[in-house]
């Protein structure tokens, strides 16, 4: 049967060492009192000379100070003891009672006196005795012999040695007691549970924190557990010798569970084999680690697998050796939803897409959000046909109407599929699926494309195009051509439209149709547009300095307008060049109405005095309510209308309506694509103010463009 355990900190009076010190103190106190009382009696009744009663009274005074101030012995008491020892030598017939008195007061002071005072305050009594003995020998006819001196001196030497030993013993005991109390305070306040177990694994000492952490019953602690059993000292799997703590789960009395880090350290230099076991509550740390692990493994918004964890799953699937299908999908039109409806709606849109993807794949695959509006699906054991079937199910599930935005919305996605082959790694598989997705996106979206090797070559070519365009923007390969805008009433040039060209090394001069889409896709449209704007304003100022009152028109994309830095950039260009704002016209397409941020930016631009033109009117999101709500200075009639003027009277009627509508709204009209004099004459007669086209001049470099001075307006 195991011996009972006790707390690691004992009662100060219960340990053997403390009980011994207590008994020493008690015996010393009894001895001192008995000796001094007997000494006083001897002085009173055995003394033979005058003054004995005075000395007895002084002994009683010493005893009274012991009673009233048991812990203190002042210098006055030491002097009184000196007087008693000195006088008693003459009063008593032999010195032994005096030596007994000296023993009593000295050992008591050694036991109770303060460290720094004991040796010094004990000296007066000894000196008093020695001086009295010396005087006694001098005045008394006694032969001074060796035995006499020895009988007097040796007890005093023994007294000094014994009292110093007693004092050091008591002082050491007090130091041990103070250390024990310090350890007691530290151990009791420690958040770490401490248990000392014997070689049989039974606890011998412990603190209250250990009982609390290990959930021991109130009656008797059990054994210290480890992950492999109920006794850490008996574990054959390395718990006792582990450098790091082992973690165990314990059930608390309230029914909750916790995690403890338990560490066992052998205790050396003891008579028996013991082990000190520490227990630390790491429940909160484990919860935090679990939360961080979950966050690393799961996308916080959608709950799908996160990118890092998903790629780890792909690694494991490829190592299994079976075919692995990987689907990468990008939501079509997500930016428009996010911009038009707000970020909260965008998040809800992503969550809805994630739920539908998960529903479509079931348990045969794993879905992940790679970032933004890009998702992926890992389908172990799926070949090309099965992966395509899975992708079709996903698109069908996504295509179900979504009504949470207040109107029916259909989630469209571009899906790229790649199926593993021997030797293909995770990075290669992901790149191939991403390439196929990119091709599906470029072909219009809402479709599935399986990766083919030639796609990689196309993507590489596209990447080269992006890199070259980035170089073109920074290295000045972009050049501006200008096409005149003519006042039909006077046939004089009233302005010019700036059109960007790319002088690409090895490819010649490229028109905007060959690279503007790429600029939009890569985000280079913003720095490209800023360069075009600055260059056009500088050219307009050069014409102004030459006496040509020509305005300049610059095409601005929706993405440029929606950028917060566009308006500050425009102000900076106007201030730097000195061009009056009214000599600059910003030209946008009707698609700007579908972008709230761009529309707000356009209205801010108009407030600066810069004119705003609506390009390709009638071919996009035309709406009278938009024209009424957001006024424009210029409405440009698309070439599809002007080119068909001679083909049908209906087209002519439409053009006439556009001209009349612009006049009602207070805007000028500019007809595009004029190639014949008949078209120009018809438009002039219909009331169209301005026109541009090959009839008046092709786009060309400013130095090659022979413009006529415009009529001031």
CA gap 431, 414 in Å, rounded: 15
Write out pLDDT tens, residues 556-595: 988 888 888 888 999 999 999 999 999 999 998 877 776 7
pLDDT at position 691 is 94
Angle, to 10 degrees, between the axis of helix 75-91 and the axis of helix 16-45?
50
Neighbours of 12 (CB within 10 A): 12
pLDDT at position 314 is 93
Please say if the pLDDT value at position 535 is more than 70.
yes
pLDDT at position 15 is 57
Please say if the pLDDT value at position 128 is more than 70.
no
Select, from the ranges 11-25, 466-480, 606-620, the one with the highest average predicted confidence (pLDDT). 466-480
Name the residue with tokens 């120009």: 680
Give one DSSP letter per residue of 17-47, joined into a string.
HHHHHHHHHHHHHHHHHHHHHHHHHHHHHT-
- Measured at the alpha carbon of residue 8, what is the angle toward residues 7 and 9, in degrees to the nearest 5? 90
Contact 441, 330 (CB under 8 A): yes
pLDDT at position 460 is 73
**Confidence grade of residue 642 (pLDDT, cut at 50, 70, 90):** confident
Beta-sheet strands, E only, within 411-544:
412-419, 448-450, 478-487, 492-504, 508-510
SS3 328: strand
- Where b means 16+ CB within 10 Å and e means fewer, 266-286 reads eeeeeeeebbebbbbbbbeeb
- 674 or 558, higher pLDDT: 674
Cα(first)–Cα(last) distance of the chain, in Å? Answer: 114
CA gap 551, 397 in Å, rounded: 53
Write out pLDDT tens, residues 311-333: 999 999 999 888 999 999 999 88
Which of 242-246, 346-350, 430-434 has the least mean pLDDT? 242-246
**Confidence grade of residue 11 (pLDDT, cut at 50, 70, 90):** very low
Beta-sheet strands, E only, within 364-521:
366-371, 374-380, 412-419, 448-450, 478-487, 492-504, 508-510
Please say if the pLDDT value at position 154 is more than 60.
no
**Confidence grade of residue 713 (pLDDT, cut at 50, 70, 90):** very low
Q: What percent of the chain has pLDDT over 70?
A: 77
Q: Which long-range contacts (CB under 8 A, 24 or more apart) does 264-273 make?
A: 264/224, 264/232, 264/233, 264/239, 264/240, 266/240, 267/196, 272/198, 272/199, 273/198, 273/199
| Residue 482 backbone phi and psi in degrees, to 5 | -125, 135
Phi-psi region of 616 (alpha: psi -120 to 50; beta: other; left: phi over 0): left
Q: Which of 220, 277, 230 is nearest to 250 (CA)?
A: 230
pLDDT at position 10 is 45
**Confidence grade of residue 120 (pLDDT, cut at 50, 70, 90):** low
CA gap 250, 257 in Å, rounded: 6
**Confidence grade of residue 708 (pLDDT, cut at 50, 70, 90):** very low
Instruction: Give the mean pLDDT of 71-100.
Output: 71
pLDDT at position 58 is 80
CA gap 10, 12 in Å, rounded: 6
Please say if the pLDDT value at position 645 is more than 70.
yes
Q: pTM for the complete prediction?
A: 0.49
Please say if the pLDDT value at position 114 is more than 70.
no
| Residue 333 backbone phi and psi in degrees, to 5 | 75, 15
pLDDT at position 138 is 62
**Confidence grade of residue 123 (pLDDT, cut at 50, 70, 90):** low
For residue 181, how far is the Cα from the chain centroid?
42
Q: Which of 39, 25, 181 is nearest to 109 (CA)?
A: 25
Question: What tokens were used for 229?
Answer: 């059993």
pLDDT at position 2 is 42
Spatial neighbors of 613 by CB under 8 A, at least 6 apart, are 553, 585, 586, 587, 588, 632, 633, 634, 635, 636, 670
pLDDT at position 592 is 77
Beta-sheet strands, E only, within 391-440:
412-419
Q: What percent of the chain has pLDDT over 90?
A: 21
Question: What tokens were used for 312?
Answer: 């780890």
Write out pLDDT tens, residues 376-395: 999 999 999 999 999 999 99
**Confidence grade of residue 7 (pLDDT, cut at 50, 70, 90):** low
Q: Is 536 exposed, middle or buried (0-12, 13-18, 19+ CB in 10 A)?
A: buried
- 129 or 701, higher pLDDT: 701
Angle, to 10 degrees, between the axis of helix 146-189 and the axis of helix 96-112?
20
- Measured at the alpha carbon of residue 671, what is the angle toward residues 530 and 694, in degrees to the nearest 5? 80
pLDDT at position 166 is 59
What Rg value do the Cα atoms of the chain yield, rounded? Answer: 52
Please say if the pLDDT value at position 48 is more than 90.
no
Neighbours of 342 (CB within 10 A): 12
Neighbours of 454 (CB within 10 A): 9
pLDDT at position 711 is 35
Select, from the ranges 398-412, 579-593, 609-623, the one with the highest average predicted confidence (pLDDT). 579-593
| Residue 524 backbone phi and psi in degrees, to 5 | -70, -10
- Measured at the alpha carbon of residue 596, what is the angle toward residues 594 and 599, in degrees to the nearest 5? 90
Please say if the pLDDT value at position 115 is more than 60.
no
pLDDT at position 143 is 47
Strands 668-671 and 448-450: unpaired
Contact 442, 659 (CB under 8 A): no
Please say if the pLDDT value at position 146 is more than 50.
yes
């Amino acid at each position: 049967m195991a011996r009972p355990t006790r707390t690691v900190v004992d009662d100060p009076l219960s340990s053997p060492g403390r009980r011994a010190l207590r008994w020493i103190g008690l015996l010393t106190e009894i001895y001192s009192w008995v000796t001094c009382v007997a000494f006083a009696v001897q002085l009173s009744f055995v003394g033979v000379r005058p003054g004995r009663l005075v000395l007895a009274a002084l002994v009683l005074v010493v005893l009274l100070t012991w009673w009233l101030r048991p812990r203190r012995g002042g210098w006055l008491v030491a002097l009184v003891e000196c007087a008693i020892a000195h006088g008693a030598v003459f009063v008593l017939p032999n010195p032994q009672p005096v030596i007994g008195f000296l023993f009593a007061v000295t050992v008591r002071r050694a036991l109770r006196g303060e460290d720094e005072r004991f040796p010094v305050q004990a000296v007066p009594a000894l000196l008093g005795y020695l001086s009295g003995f010396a005087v006694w020998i001098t005045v008394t006819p006694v032969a001074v012999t060796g035995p006499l001196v020895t009988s007097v001196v040796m007890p005093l030497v023994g007294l000094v040695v014994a009292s110093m030993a007693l004092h050091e013993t008591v002082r050491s005991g007090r130091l041990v007691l103070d250390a024990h109390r310090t350890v007691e305070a530290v151990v009791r306040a420690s958040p770490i549970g401490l248990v000392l177990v014997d070689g049989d694994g039974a606890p011998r000492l412990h603190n209250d924190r250990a009982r609390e952490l290990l959930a021991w019953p109130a009656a008797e602690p059990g054994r210290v557990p480890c992950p492999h059993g109920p006794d850490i000292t008996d574990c054959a799997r390395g718990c006792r010798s582990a450098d790091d703590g082992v973690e165990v789960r314990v059930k608390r009395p309230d029914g909750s569970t916790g995690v403890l880090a338990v560490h066992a350290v052998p205790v050396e230099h003891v008579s028996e084999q013991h082990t000190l076991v520490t227990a630390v509550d790491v429940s909160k740390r484990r919860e935090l680690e679990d939360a961080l692990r979950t966050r690393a493994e799961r996308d916080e918004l959608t709950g799908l697998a996160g990118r890092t964890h998903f790629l780890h799953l792909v690694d494991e699937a490829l190592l299994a050796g079976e075919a692995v299908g990987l689907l990468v999908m990008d939501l079509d039109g997500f930016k428009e939803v996010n911009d038009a409806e707000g970020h909260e709606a965008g998040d809800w849109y992503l969550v809805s897409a994630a739920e539908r993807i998960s529903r479509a794949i079931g348990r045969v695959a794993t879905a992940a959000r790679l970032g933004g509006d890009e998702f992926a699906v890992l389908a172990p054991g799926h070949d090309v046909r099965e992966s395509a079937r899975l992708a079709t199910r996903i698109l069908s599930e996504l295509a179900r109407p979504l009504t949470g935005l207040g109107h029916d919305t259909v989630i469209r996605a571009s899906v790229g599929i790649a199926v593993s082959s021997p030797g293909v790694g995770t990075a290669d598989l992901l790149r191939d699926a991403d390439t196929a997705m990119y091709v599906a996106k470029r072909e219009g979206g809402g479709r599935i494309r399986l990766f083919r090797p030639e796609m990689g070559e196309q993507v590489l070519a596209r990447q080269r195009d992006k890199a070259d365009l980035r170089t073109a923007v920074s290295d000045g390969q972009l050049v501006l051509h200008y096409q005149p805008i003519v006042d039909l009433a006077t046939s004089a040039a009233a302005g010019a439209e700036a059109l960007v060209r790319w002088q690409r090394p090895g490819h010649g001069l490229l028109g905007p149709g060959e690279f503007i889409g790429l600029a939009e896709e890569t985000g280079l449209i913003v720095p490209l547009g800023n360069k075009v704007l600055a260059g056009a304003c500088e050219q307009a100022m050069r014409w102004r300095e030459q006496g040509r009152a020509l305005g300049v028109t610059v095409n601005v994309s929706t993405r440029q307008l929606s950028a917060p830095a566009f308006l500050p950039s425009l102000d900076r260009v106007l201030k730097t060049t000195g061009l009056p704002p009214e000599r600059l016209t910003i030209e946008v397409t009707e698609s700007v109405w579908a972008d709230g941020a761009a529309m707000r930016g356009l209205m801010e631009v108009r407030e600066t005095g810069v004119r705003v033109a609506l390009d390709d009117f009638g071919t996009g999101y035309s709406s009278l309510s938009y024209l009424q709500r957001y006024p424009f200075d210029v409405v440009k009639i698309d070439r599809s209308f002007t080119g068909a003027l001679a083909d049908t009277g209906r087209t002519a009627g439409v053009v006439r309506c556009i001209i009349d509508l612009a006049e009602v709204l207070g805007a000028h009209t500019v007809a595009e694509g004029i190639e014949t004099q008949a078209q120009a004459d018809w438009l002039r007669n219909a009331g169209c103010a301005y026109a541009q086209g090959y009839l008046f001049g092709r786009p060309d470099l400013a130095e090659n463009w022979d413009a006529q001075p415009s009529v001031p307006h």
